[in-house]
Chain A
Amino acid sequence: MILGAATIAVVVTMVLALIRAFEGPSAYDRMLAANLFGTKTVLLIALAGYALSWESYLDVALLYASVNFVSTIAVMRFFEYSGMPRGKADDGGRS
């Protein structure tokens, strides 16, 4: 039962992160929210998998933890360090 409460807490956090990913005025906010969403998915799969007795759920959670990291690094590499044109909704700084 406590496990269920923890799972619901993680799902609520995921929804909050999603709202930030939709709004987030700058791209950095969206990056952060997407990374957070991925981390919470790892926790969700670990907790819900144990509670609902999914099969091989820990392999998937381990995979997500790495894939989330790679995805975040890719977003940073291709946005920040490559001279991509900054958007109109973004900050100033170098362009």
Chain B
Amino acid sequence: MLIALAAIRLQDLFAVVMLFGVYSFMTATLFMDLDAVDVAFTEAAVGAGVTTVLMLSSLRLTSRWEQRPKHSPLVPLIVVGITGAALIYGTLDAPLLGDPNAPVHQHVAPRYIEQGPIEVGMPNMVTAVLASYRGYDTFGETVVIFTAGLAVLLLLGIQESPETKPGRTAIGDHQLVLRVVVKVLIPLILLYALYVQFHGDYGAGGGFQAGVIFATGFVLYDLVFGEGDARMVVPPRWLHRLAALGVLIYGGVGVISLLAGKAFLDYSVLAHDPVHGQHLGVLLVELGVGITVFAVILAIFYALSGRRRVS
């Protein structure tokens, strides 16, 4: 909380971004302490890695110092105070966290915990709920990510400019040690992303985390070797197609279930045996999620990093 207060008070936005990274580390440790491993994983990958990089790219395009607001903060403060008080008053009736008599623990959660290993057959209950029991919600999330990528591409667009031609304009020019170490490190990061993707059934992991880690590998390449080389490795056209491909895979699995006579996204028809069908279905939809997340994050990064300030 101290970090959050300091981040509000500081006017140097560059320091604020770094403090946000630190805040994200602490939040993820807190999640680990609460036994929410998948959430901690995603918080680590997204909050400390990708968000820092994206905020720094946009900081480079705007300005480093916060401008003082031109109006007095008294009226917004009163409005926020009244709304916050009303919300807190509303939560006084809610059950305490972890209360075993709470309604959320009575109906759906025991069914998932007891029937999950039997119906879906995978040890990681979070992935079972995410991809199978609540597969429709996850489909919506994937489409939301795709829409966010679409919005960024419509508003900003991935520009071709002199800075994005091949030829070194980045850190790698000056630092030989960094260049060599990163060349060895990036394949390992990508391999780890694949491990996280396919190990999501058994341990922490899954499509979202894997897509983010995969994108982080390519972002690292872009940071050290320059935008030109990075765009030769992953051209922006491919990102458009990959983002759509991920959503298509996910929706395609649902449509196949429809064509086979069952409900949308009912995986049990995909193989000879319902449990095998569930496994195959979860594998395919996590793959779709991973591909979309990777393409969208890399597209947003390309859109922000390829621009230069008009000043």
Given a CB threshold of 8 Å, the question of whether A touches B is answered with yes
* Segment 161-218 of B: residues with Cβ below 8 Å from A: 170-171, 174, 178, 182, 185, 189, 192, 196, 203-205, 209, 213, 216
Question: With A45-B32, A56-B204, A63-B213 in contact, do A76 and B171 touch (Cβ < 8 Å)?
Answer: yes
- Which residues on B sit within 8 Å (CB–CB) of A41? 25-26, 28-29
Q: Is B14 an interface residue (CB 8 A)?
A: yes
Contact with B along A48-91 (1 / 0, CB 8 A): 11001011110110111011111101111111111011010100
Measured between C-beta atoms, what is the minimum distance from A77 to chain B in Å?
A: 5
State how many residues of chain B have any CB contact under 8 Å with chain A.
52
Q: Is B220 an interface residue (CB 8 A)?
A: yes
Q: B15 near A27 (CB under 8 angstroms)?
A: yes
- Which residues on A sit within 8 Å (CB–CB) of B216? 66-67, 70
- Which residues on A sit within 8 Å (CB–CB) of B59? 78, 84
Q: B25 near A38 (CB under 8 angstroms)?
A: yes
Q: A63 near B22 (CB under 8 angstroms)?
A: no
Q: A63 near B14 (CB under 8 angstroms)?
A: no
Question: With A38-B48, A60-B204, A67-B216 in contact, do A77 and B170 touch (Cβ < 8 Å)?
Answer: yes
Measured between C-beta atoms, what is the minimum distance from A36 to chain B in Å?
A: 10
- Which residues on A sit within 8 Å (CB–CB) of B170? 77, 81
Q: Is B248 an interface residue (CB 8 A)?
A: no
Report the stretch among B35-43, B73-81, B106-114, B272-280 that lies at the interface. Answer: B35-43
Measured between C-beta atoms, what is the minimum distance from B300 to chain A in Å?
A: 14
Number of A-B contacts (CB under 8 A): 137
Measured between C-beta atoms, what is the minimum distance from B44 to chain A in Å?
A: 5
- Which residues on A sit within 8 Å (CB–CB) of B213? 63, 66
Least CB separation from A63: chain B residue = B44
Q: A78 near B189 (CB under 8 angstroms)?
A: no
Q: B205 near A59 (CB under 8 angstroms)?
A: yes
Q: How far is the CA of A41 from the CA of B14 in the complex (A)?
A: 21
Question: With A59-B203, A66-B189, A75-B52 in contact, do A34 and B18 touch (Cβ < 8 Å)?
Answer: yes
Q: Is B219 an interface residue (CB 8 A)?
A: yes
Measured between C-beta atoms, what is the minimum distance from B226 to chain A in Å?
A: 10
Q: B22 near A18 (CB under 8 angstroms)?
A: yes
Measured between C-beta atoms, what is the minimum distance from B122 to chain A in Å?
A: 14
Q: A67 near B44 (CB under 8 angstroms)?
A: yes
Question: With A37-B22, A60-B28, A89-B12 in contact, do A78 and B60 touch (Cβ < 8 Å)?
Answer: yes
- Which residues on A sit within 8 Å (CB–CB) of B12? 87, 89
Measured between C-beta atoms, what is the minimum distance from A93 to chain B in Å?
A: 15
Interface set of B (CB-CB < 8 Å, partner A): 3, 6, 12, 14-15, 17-19, 21-22, 25-26, 28-29, 32-33, 35, 37, 40-41, 44-45, 48-49, 52-53, 56-57, 59-60, 63-65, 170-171, 174, 178, 182, 185, 189, 192, 196, 203-205, 209, 213, 216, 219-220, 223-224
Q: A54-B37, A56-B37, A63-B209 are in contact. List 13 more A-B contacts (CB 8 A).
A: A21-B19, A27-B14, A38-B21, A41-B26, A56-B41, A67-B48, A68-B48, A70-B49, A71-B21, A74-B56, A75-B18, A75-B52, A87-B12
